[in-house]
Structure 1
Amino acid sequence: MQRHEAPTILIVEDDPIMGESLVERLSLEGYRPVWLTTGGEALGALQGQRPDLLVCDIRLPDMTGEELYHSLLPQLGGTPVVFMTGFGDVSQAVRLVRAGADDYLTKPFAVDEFLTRIGDLLRSRGIGTGAAEAVLGTSPAIRQVEQLLRRVADVDSTLLITGESGVGKEVAANFVHRISQRAEAPFMAVNCAAIPQELIDSEVFGHEKGAFTGAHALHRGYAERAGNGVLLLDEVGELPLPVQVKLLRLIQERLFFRVGGEKPLPFAARLVCATNADLEQRVREGAFRRDLFYRLNVIPVTIPSLRDRLDDVLPLLQAYLRQYADAFGRPAQRLTPQAEAVALTHDWPGNVRELRNRIERAVALATGPWIGANDLFPESVADDQFGTDTDWPQLTAVRDESERSYILATLRRADGQLGKAADLLGVGRTTLWEKMRRLGIAMDQME
């Protein structure tokens, strides 16, 4: 099974009526269903390939769903797994969830409930249903940013991306390049803060042979090598004033000179700049040219910090967990409820970069399928012991703990305002209040 934009869902079900019904509805919903009727066919289909989600019946003609699951574990990695079962096999389904499966549905079930369950599982892994789905994230804040970037992707005006360190400014710039008409041309990213000041001019604009001591050959800078693509100047606020003058000319005249050169060269790329500095403050301090600031700030885009878009935390963690588990060949597959709860209450000062580093370390050191809170935050969290054979939680307890943690995090984000929290969660005030009462959440826990 090759990767498609539409998520691939592998269905293992021998009942022709059930199988055809699921295939038809999943296709209508924008998924790519692949229907198999035996465990043997599933074993063959997953050799070296992996769907985005596996839906499997407990009873198959040639083996049980449990036997198939344990046989497929080495190939599944972090692939979500949902079992379908009759009432008489519920205990077996619960046993499979304890062994690492994600969910089960008891037949007969409503198709809408089935679609909700699999949609939640796919979103938790950062998997969408096509081009219209979020790419940069799922939270309302980052979706607004993505919509803006889509609107200006093919506009040649200078784009200024701002935000804290680690929020994903280069990722946003790369996204613009990828969806634009310049996608087949180069994407050149320059970190202006990482290049010694005496070399920035040469690195960005290039130099002629003999332009200075050590210039033994012609050097084409990033502006020239970007061609018709995109040139990203990251940390543009760190450019020294003499280079700022050359950058201003490049923007205004679409021309530049190599160091030591006499012939103007055309600049054909789109310019995107990024910074975590307050450029207006730099202007007031005399460290950044006012006229350059106005030329850069044509289309300003601010990437919100991760603590301001908590909806993205768990999908990002799951997506990176899957990526690193595949890359490192590690058994890590899931985050424990306590790990999710701590991640949702963490302030994330390093934003997405910190999140990515934490999950990379946790997966690299993983010895089992579960990533616990202590694996993500070894400096401050005690071992939650989830995933051992001792006191293994029931499925309902896992769901309740995850839901309770997310509601608490949302209430804190909403400053304890029930109406605002209900809007963020997409439920009514009465529904939220009932959930809080059932889960034992009191308002004094917001402090």
Structure 2
Amino acid sequence: MSAPAAMRRSVVLIEDDAVLGESLTQRLALEGIDVWWARSAAEGEALLRRRRPTMIVCDIRLPDGDGESLLTHLMPQLGGTPIVVVTAYGDVGQAVRMLRAGADDYVEKPFPAQLLIDKLDAFAAWSPPAEPPPDAAGWASPSMQTLRRHLLKLGRVDTTVLLVGESGAGKEVAARVLHEAGPRAAAPFLAVNCAAIPSDLLESQIFGHERGAFTGANERQIGLAERAAGGTLFLDEVAELAPPSQAKLLRLLQERRFTRLGGREELALGARIVAATNADLRARVAEGRFRDDLYYRLAVVELQVPPLRQRPEDVEELAAHFLRHFARSLGRDVPALDAEALGALLHHGWPGNVRELRNRIERALVLAESQRLGVADLFPERQAQEAPPLSLAAAREAAEREHIRRILARCGGRIGDAAQILGVSRTTLWERMRRLGIKD
């Protein structure tokens, strides 16, 4: 039976074997999964520029290249899309490298179709988004409800929007709401952090480059502006752009055309530009550090994303969301917060905003020994300040206990997998868990 439309899954299958490709396409279709089949790396790249699949299945060996190069090249735009690598026996080592690079799993030929379907079902059931879905959490406060109304309205038009707010406040989440609210929702949403990439590489990331454009440019690279096609290009920390990059971005916004580095062909920009910053751009303009003409192009509409400390109504809702999110990913029941812990969350200053809240909840869930979280679970630094110093032996045991728990959580509680990562036998791990009071 096919899945309901709202839950329908889709796969981009990149496989040159006609028999296997046809078989998988038919079998996945019977499970209600939409399949777009590419028979080469080039076809796969073209498909992934147009489609937003919920899953990707890619063979390592392709007639015009290999899956490793293709997926490594496309990884920045794929976000958290689950990737399953298809490999022959002799390519397992390459599959392992791809897992380290960001792929999620691999299957070795020959394999039954049901094995692949089981893995895809597991991804659909257990892969939560990297940030809280905007419809699910974080919009209880009046300020965020007002922001959401603006975003939904602006999503229907192509006006350039500048999102301003502190680091970790949720600017990218807001940008995704904007993207999903309009006709561009079916096209890619691609994000680049302008502060995280050296200026000499950033232009190549955004505009792409031709082979030979600079030392090390051994092949053409399609930039984010081109890959975003009819979708959204999100430029985070735009205040950190160097002057030459500011000039090129201004031209892109004015003329909606660009050229790959080292190229001559002018290409049309089909994507919408949304920018974000945690800096005061007006002050930077006054100081001569940011172009005023670029600022006015970016800030046709400027929206503030308020920090978490200014919207305490959202703290409890976000905390509950993250508790469900991480409990599900760890295969655990959702724990409760005691009254003192909830009060501590509500009165905390949140210098790290939503990102800090997310990290505190995740850490508490991984390390908690009971189904009820207290202040010590969420703010262990407070307990550390008050508690007497541990002996060396006790400190070693505490460190070992925490490390084993983290590995077990990462492995979903599977003792065998955890033992392999830790480099000990299952029996040794069981004995250490018993000695340290760790329950399986």
TM range (shorter): 0.5 to 0.7
1:26 alignment counterpart: none
Aligned-partner Cα distance in 2 for 1:261–1:382: 58
Give the Cα separation in 1 of the matches to 2:5 and 2:329.
Answer: 20
- Structure 2 equivalent of residue 159 of structure 1: 161
Native 8 Å contact 2:137 2:321 kept in 1: no
SS at match of 1:300: strand
2:294 is aligned, of 292, 295, 304, to 292
Cα distance in 1 for partners of 2:229, 2:383 equals 49
Match of 1:352 in 2: 354
Aligned to 1:248: 250
Q: 1:12-59: CA deviations, max 9, x gaps?
A: xxxxxxxxxxxxxxxxxxxxxxxxxxxxxxxxxxxxxxxxxxxxxxxx
For 1:314 and 1:4, how far apart are their aligned partners in 2? 32
> Tell me, which stretches of 5 or more residues in structure 2 are unaligned?
7-131, 386-440
Deviation at 1:3, TM superposition (A): 9.9
Aligned to 1:221: 223
| Secondary structure of 2:157 counterpart | coil
Shift of 1:330: 3.3
Which has the higher Rg, Structure 1 or Structure 2? 1
Matching residue of 2:103 = none
Deviation at 1:136, TM superposition (A): 4.2
State which of 297, 301, 304 in structure 2 corresponds to 1:302: 304
Say whether the 8 Å CA contact 1:331–1:368 is kept in structure 2.
no
Contact 1:134 1:143 in 2 (8 A): no
Q: Choose which of 171, 174, 179 in structure 2 pairs with 1:172.
A: 174
Deviations 1:394-444 (A, max 9, x none): xxxxxxxxxxxxxxxxxxxxxxxxxxxxxxxxxxxxxxxxxxxxxxxxxxx
Query: C-alpha distance in 2, partners of 1:134/1:322?
Result: 11
Secondary structure of residue in 2 paired with 1:164: coil
Paired amino acid for 1:149: L
Say if 2:137 and 2:317, in contact at 8 Å, map to a contact too: no
Matched residue of 2:191: which SS?
strand
Q: What is the aligned partner in structure 2 of residue 343 from structure 1?
A: 345
> After the TM superposition, which residues 54-65 of structure 1 pair with which residues of structure 2 at under 5 Å, given as runs?
none
Provide closer, same or farther for how the CA distance between residues 139 and 253 of structure 1 changes in structure 2, counting only shifts above 3 A: same
8 A contact 2:199–2:245 mirrored in 1 = no
- SS of the aligned residue for 1:379 comes to helix
**1:263–1:256: structure 2 CA closer, same or farther, 3 Å change rule?**
same
In structure 2, distance between residues paired with 1:200 and 1:377:
38
How much has 1:367 moved relative to structure 2?
2.2
The Cα shift of 1:382 comes to 8.2
1:155 CA displacement:
1.1
- Percent of paired sites with the same residue: 52
Helix, strand or coil at the partner of 2:215: coil
Distance 1:266 1:281, change over 3 A: same
Q: Does 1:324 align with 2:323?
A: no
Taking the aligned partners of 2:199 and 2:332, their CA distance within structure 1 comes to 42
The amino acid of 1:175's aligned partner reads: V
Q: Render the CA deviation track for 1:92-140: whole Å, top value 9, x for unaligned.
A: xxxxxxxxxxxxxxxxxxxxxxxxxxxxxxxxxxx99xx9x77541111
Contact 2:170–2:305 (8 Å) recurs in 1: yes
Residues 332 and 370 in structure 1, CA contact (< 8 A), matched pair in contact too: no
Instruction: For residue 287 of structure 1, report the CA deviation from its aligned partner.
Output: 1.5
Q: 1:189 aligns with which of 175, 188, 191?
A: 191
**Partner Cα separation in structure 2 for residue 375 and residue 283 of structure 1:** 44
Cα distance in 1, alignment partners of residues 332 and 4 from structure 2:
22
8 A contact 1:317–1:356 mirrored in 2: yes
8 Å CA contact 1:331–1:367 kept in 2: the answer is no
Aligned residue in 2 for 1:41 = none
Of 275, 278, 282, the match for 1:276: 278
CA gap of 1:136–1:299, structure 2 versus 1, over 3 A, is farther
Secondary structure in 2 aligned to 1:188? Answer: strand
Q: Structure 1 unaligned runs (5+)?
A: 6-126, 384-447
- Alpha-carbon separation, structure 2, partners of 1:134 and 1:316: 9
State the partner residue of 1:211. 213
- Output the CA distance in 1 between the equivalents of 2:367 and 2:183: 42
TM alignment of 1:36-47, pairs within 5 A: none
Structure 2 residue aligned with 1:233, among 232, 235, 240?
Answer: 235
Count of matched residue positions in the alignment of Structure 1 and Structure 2: 259
RMSD: 2.4
**Whole-Å Cα distance in 1 between the matches of residues 220 and 272 of structure 2?**
24
1:327 Cα shift? Answer: 0.3
Secondary structure of 1:380 counterpart = helix
